């Protein structure tokens, strides 16, 4: 038997597991961002990270709705405060992106609640500048008819 060939008794590598391990090694980020990236890639497989997915001009309104719902779930079910905090920022950012790019409110949150969320995102220096910028732009948008 050739030593470079797997023996018939050796388990063959699982392609899905290989993809998962490859993805895990690609990520050299905080645990909070790793989880958010994973769920983002479930919705938009080509996304590099949640920030790019939210801000990409190619992200459809339907995809923003799906992302918003996923981050809303993370906001309430994540194990750590840092995961919940990041999820809350991403949730606000998806709503802001929909307002700015599509002039559609994808939330039933009140205007004052959205203004608070956008202001908190805009003021959070831990967030990428481009995400804070979209929050600033959303603050200047007149909320259209709500369409969650």
Q: Which of 43, 47, 51, 52 is nearest to 70 (CA)?
A: 43
CB neighbour list of residue 92: distance below 8 Å, 6 or more residues apart: 114, 117, 118, 120, 121, 135
- Tokens for 24? 């895990």
The per-residue pLDDT for 1 is 47
Decide: 90 and 129 in contact? Cβ < 8 Å.
no
pLDDT in tens, 87-98: 999 999 999 999
pLDDT in tens, 105-120: 999 999 999 999 999 9
pTM of the model: 0.78
| DSSP state letters, 38-68 | HHHHHHSTT-SSHHHHHH-TT--HHHHHHHH
Q: Which residue has the tokens 């259209």?
A: 144
Q: Please state, in angstroms and as integers, the Cα–Cα distance from residue 118 to each residue in 64, 96, 111, following that order.
A: 16, 7, 10
The per-residue pLDDT for 61 is 97
Decide: 134 and 55 in contact? Cβ < 8 Å.
yes
Which is more confidently placed, 79 or 27? 79
Give the CB-side neighbour count of residue 104, counting CA atoms within 13 A: 12
pLDDT in tens, 14-56: 555 566 555 555 555 577 888 899 999 999 999 999 999 999 9
| DSSP for residue 145 | S
The per-residue pLDDT for 8 is 46
Decide: 44 and 54 in contact? Cβ < 8 Å.
no
The per-residue pLDDT for 29 is 54
């Amino acid at each position: 038997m050739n030593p470079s060939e797997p023996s018939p008794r050796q388990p063959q590598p699982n392609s899905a597991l290989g993809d998962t391990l490859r993805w895990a090694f690609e990520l050299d980020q905080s645990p909070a961002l790793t989880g958010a990236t994973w769920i983002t890639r479930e919705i938009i497989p080509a996304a590099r990270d949640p920030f790019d997915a939210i801000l990409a001009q190619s992200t459809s309104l339907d995809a923003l709705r799906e992302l918003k719902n996923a981050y809303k779930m993370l906001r309430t079910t994540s194990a750590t405060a840092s995961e919940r905090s990041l999820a809350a920022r991403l949730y606000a950012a998806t709503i802001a992106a929909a307002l700015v790019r599509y002039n559609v409110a994808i939330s039933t949150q009140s205007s004052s609640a959205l203004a608070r969320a956008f202001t908190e995102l805009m003021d959070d220096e831990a967030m990428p500048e481009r995400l804070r910028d979209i929050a600033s732009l959303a603050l200047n948008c007149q909320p259209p008819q709500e369409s969650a």
